[in-house]
Amino acid sequence: MTVTVKIPTPLRPVTGGLGELKVDGATVGDVLRQLDAQYAGFADRVFDANGVKRFVNVYVNEDNIRDKKNMETELKAGDTISILPSIAGGRCPRLS
């Protein structure tokens, strides 16, 4: 099934400047792996063997996949996957 993937601006250098892509896949993992095959360096920025990286969020429509089945989250035709940077920080001296 075909879904739409929204690429945030920090990641667009990897996708040749494209902000929206149409990809086929049954799960979020399928889609992300396809994008990695198509765009060199995509996985380095988005996911590794343990799943989505710490400072990246992946939503299917309005749901964070960390609250679903992570990379195994199933997709329906017409779903929108949004890849979003995890913006964090603060005055404390160390991340915890």
Partner 1 sequence: MIKIPSSILREIYDHMEASYPHECCGLMVGTIERSGEGQRVVHAARRCRNLNTDRAHDRYDLDPMCWMKTEREFEGTPWSIIGIYHSHPDHPSRASQTDTDAALGAGMLDYSYVIVSVQKGKVASAQSWILNESEKKFYEESLVVVDEEGDRP
| Residues binding partner 1 (CB under 8 A) | 6, 8-11, 19, 45, 53-57, 59, 62, 64, 82, 84-95
Q: How far is the CB of 16 from partner 1 (least distance, A)?
A: 16
DSSP class of residue 66? G
Q: How far is the CB of 87 from partner 1 (least distance, A)?
A: 4
What whole-number distance in Å separates Cα of residue 43 and Cα of residue 50? 12
Q: How far is the CB of 56 from partner 1 (least distance, A)?
A: 7
User: How far from chain centre, in Å, is Cα 44?
Assistant: 11
